[in-house]
Structure 1
Amino acid sequence: MEQTIRILTYNVRSLRDDRAALARVVRSCAPDVVCIQESPRFFGWRRAARAMAASFGLRVVIGGANASGNLLLAGPDVKVDAAEVLYLKHRRGYHLRGLALATLRIGNSRFTVGGTHLSMNLEQRVYQAGEVLGHLDGFAERNQTKSRILAGDFNSYPGSVEWNIITERLADAWMVSPMGAEFTSTGKNPYQRLDAVFVSRDVYVVRAGVPTDLVSQADTALATDHLPVLAVVRI
Structure 2
Amino acid sequence: MQWISPTRTWPRRSKKSTGSRPCFPLRNQVVVLWLCLAAGCSRPGIPLPDEERYRPTADEYSIMTYNLKAFGYEDRDGDGQQDDPKPREEVEAVVDLISAASPDILAIQEIGGADMLKQLRYSLRDRGVEYKDVEFIERGGYQKNIALLSRFPIVSRQSHLDDTYRLGNVELPVARGIIDVTIQITPAYRLRVMVAHLKSKVYHPLGQTEMRRSEARILGKHVRRALRRNPQLNLAVVGDFNDYYGSSPLRLIRGRESHPYLLDLRPQDFVGDVWTHFESALDLYQRIDYILVSRGLYADLVREKTHVVRSPLTARASDHRPLIAVFRRKDLPPRK
Q: TM-score, normalised by structure 1?
A: 0.82
User: What's the counterpart of residue 54 of structure 1?
Assistant: 122
User: What's the counterpart of residue 145 of structure 2?
Assistant: 69
Counterpart secondary structure, 1:231: strand
Q: Aligned match of 2:108 in 29, 32, 36?
A: 36
User: What's the counterpart of residue 4 of structure 1?
Assistant: 60
User: What's the counterpart of residue 206 of structure 1?
Assistant: 302
* Cα deviation code 1:131-167 (max 9, x no counterpart): 1132245467789981110000000011112212223
Q: 1:211-226 counterparts in 2 under 5 A? A: 211-212=309-310, 217-226=311-320
Amino acid at match of 1:9: T
Q: Quick check: 86-95 or 60-69, which moved more?
A: 86-95
Q: Quick check: 112-121 or 79-88, which moved more?
A: 79-88
8 Å Cα contact 2:269/2:309 also seen in 1? yes
Counterpart secondary structure, 2:164: coil
CA shift for structure 1 position 218: 2.4
Amino acid at match of 2:122: A
CA shift for structure 1 position 111: 1.1
RMSD (CA atoms): 2.9
Q: TM-score, normalised by structure 2?
A: 0.59
CA shift for structure 1 position 179: 5.0
Q: 1:175-190 counterparts in 2 under 5 A? A: 178-180=268-270, 181-186=273-278
Q: Aligned match of 1:86 in 136, 160, 176?
A: 160
Q: Aligned match of 1:150 in 206, 225, 237?
A: 237
User: What's the counterpart of residue 196 of structure 2?
Assistant: 116
- 1:128 and 1:111 mapped to 2: Cα distance? 23
Largest Rg, 1 or 2: 2
- 2:58 and 2:212 mapped to 1: Cα distance? 37
- 2:97 and 2:115 mapped to 1: Cα distance? 21
- What stretches of structure 1 of length at least 5 have no aligned partner? none
Larger relative contact order (Cα-Cα within 8 Å, sequence gap ≥ 6):
1
Counterpart secondary structure, 1:12: strand
Counterpart secondary structure, 2:199: coil
- 1:50 and 1:62 mapped to 2: Cα distance? 12
Please identify which structure carries the higher strand content: 1
- 1:104 and 1:198 mapped to 2: Cα distance? 17
Amino acid at match of 2:164: K
Q: 1:190 to 1:31 in 2, by over 3 A?
A: farther
Q: Quick check: 113-122 or 95-104, which moved more?
A: 95-104
- 2:269 and 2:294 mapped to 1: Cα distance? 19
8 Å Cα contact 2:224/2:261 also seen in 1? no
* Cα deviation code 1:41-60 (max 9, x no counterpart): xxxx2122122123232335
When the two structures are aligned, how many residues end up with a matched partner?
223
Task: Report sequence identity in percent.
Answer: 26
Amino acid at match of 1:62: E
CA shift for structure 1 position 90: 5.5
- 1:79 and 1:144 mapped to 2: Cα distance? 23
Q: 1:140 to 1:110 in 2, by over 3 A?
A: farther
CA shift for structure 1 position 94: 9.0
Counterpart secondary structure, 2:285: coil
